[in-house]
Amino acid sequence: MRTGPGDRTQQPDAATGHSKEPSLRTASPRRYLMCPPTHFEVTYSINPWMDPAKPVDRRLALTQWEELRRTYLSLGHDVELLEPRAGLPDMVFAANGATVVDGRVLGARFAHPQRAPEAAAAREWFAAHGFPDIRLPEHVNEGEGDFAVTANLVLAGRGFRASPESHAEAQEFFGRPVVGLDLVDPRFYHLDTALCVLDDAVDGADAGVMYYPGAFSPGSRKVLARLFPEALVATEADALAFGLNAVSDGRNVLLPQAATGLFAPLRERGYEPVGLDLDELLKGGGSVKCCTLEIRA
């Protein structure tokens, strides 16, 4: 089940006192890589959300994943498919396999051996689909789990998975400034669980973002406040509902429907929140963004 734009919250006009519609933002077509949860299960625990004692309904996981894919297609986006491989239950979280900027592919190097073979599978897909510039990384990074791309910057998480050295490696490869952000709460073990880029640029600013301050160190919170003074600041409840593990095309923001506190603030900023139920996949510690690798070609 998903909740679409629906009724929009109208804002009072300062001059007339009458309600008016907030200005809608503009969506841009995107290209995504996804991997079906054909082999999804939780047989080990490498983040606080994974509990092998809790049974997984693989059929339900596939149904929820398929609804996400169909939603992208209905919004006019292209979805490419990465073939799932037996023995790699976390391949459904395709965002971790690489980071793509300007057609250049920085591969992943996973922190845990259980996921290590996923990196080669992603690189092989990009090589087979005409991407000539693919880098095998020297340092640990888990793709878009810890790299968030804006028009001018790459925001990079560290503290639980990605190594600090991976930030310099990404900056040299992509030729874009990389801003390191320290994650301090293990529940938000990847940057994409604590921050979402909503659009590339707004009125000359670098980007619109939403994030949960409690996931970051005091210094990183100050950096975020300086870079994004107009950011949407999420509550702990919405962050724990994985509301920040979201995907935006500049207008439509796909996010877990349980993150109810984010819907009105997004509408007030001119975005269209689209709520989805991916609770079965959350048993593996991922939601909308984890399932979605953006191919920025």
Residue of 256, 293, 261 lying closest to 274 (CA atoms): 256
- Which pair of structure tokens corresponds to residue 102? 């300007």
- Which pair of structure tokens corresponds to residue 73? 């297609």
Computed on alpha carbons and rounded to an integer, the radius of gyration of the chain in Å comes to 18
In whole angstroms, give the CA distance from residue 176 to residue 150.
10
Residue 56: how many other CB atoms lie within 10 Å: 18
Active site residue: 35, 77, 190, 196, which one? 190
Phi, psi (rounded to 5 degrees) for 179: -105, 115
Residue 297: how many other CB atoms lie within 10 Å: 13
> Per DSSP, what are the bridge partners of residue 58?
none
Known active-site residue 190: yes
Measured torsion, CA atoms of residues 257, 34, 239, 216, in degrees rounded to the nearest 10: -170
In whole angstroms, give the CA distance from residue 31 to residue 23.
25
Active-site amino acid positions: 190, 290
